[in-house]
Amino acid sequence: MNYELLCNKVISIVRLTGNFIRKESMQFDVNKIEYKGLNDMVSYVDKTAEQKLVQNLEKLIPDAGFITEEKTVNRDGKTYTWIIDPLDGTTNFIHGIPAYGISVALYEDGVPVIGVVCELNRGEMFYAYKGGSAYLNKKEIGVSANPDIKSSLLATGFPYYQFDKQAQYLKLLEEMMQKSHGVRRIGAAAIDLVYTACGRFDAFFEYNLQQWDFAAGCFIVQQAGGEVFDFSGGNDYFVKREILATNGKLTDEMLEAIKRYFK
């Protein structure tokens, strides 16, 4: 498998789908919103974008499986699996807030080999592939060199359902706000992750995520020289659905703080 060549083909597919989303953003009708659950919105844009991605990606690897947010297709693959979020930041898109994008990852025997995240409003294409580094619009990127929380800008996300851990999360957030340059909440985990990969953020933490939120972004962080863990410091974040991504230098300090509130 030529991962670089395949990644370039994925980028072309993502770019084509991104053009559709940009066009729809100019004429989107908020009355066409649907609800999958509490505060969990979806639109025809999400669904159509996912269909476009699937139709083109399955041409690249016909027997690959798919894990997709909108479940327009959901099938097992023996060796390869695409993990897709067709519109990460749907709430931002619906409200006209310019922070949303597309996330596509390819896993081979359970290991990531390609990750592509496109932030549509700035036209930024982040990507990584096995055997390569991490890139932004063809330029190599890397995580920041900030050595500690007090010199860092952090990112997080807020839960929009299952609020049972909200109290300890707010305590952790209070500590991080007081110790760092600040904590940002963009509203799209894939973007938070790639911003960590290129050094805009020094660390990102969030719980109650889905695998399509972070499958591509985590791989890009790792290929950019960063580290990704669950809240206990392990590598079980796919099952636990909690992410700590850092530049590597903040890992111990961040984990120490997180473990005070998340046992």
Compute the average pLDDT of residues 111-121: 98
30-46 residue pLDDT tens = 767 776 655 455 678 88
pLDDT score recorded for residue 118? 98
Compute the average pLDDT of residues 139-154: 98
pLDDT score recorded for residue 14? 98
Compute the average pLDDT of residues 58-74: 91
- Which residues are CB-contacts of 221 (< 8 A; sequence separation ≥ 6)? 134, 143, 193, 194, 196, 197, 227, 228, 245
Compute the average pLDDT of residues 232-249: 96
Tokens of 225: 């020289």
Please state the pTM of the whole predicted model: 0.95
Spell 177-202 as b/e; 16+ CB within 10 A means b: eeebeebeebbbbbbbbbbbbbbbbb
CA distances from 94 to 26, 184, 188, 235, 249 (A): 11, 20, 13, 34, 36
pLDDT score recorded for residue 39? 46
Compute the average pLDDT of residues 58-84: 92
- Point out the least confidently predicted range of 33-47, 180-194, 224-238: 33-47
Looking at every residue in the chain, the average pLDDT score rounds to 93
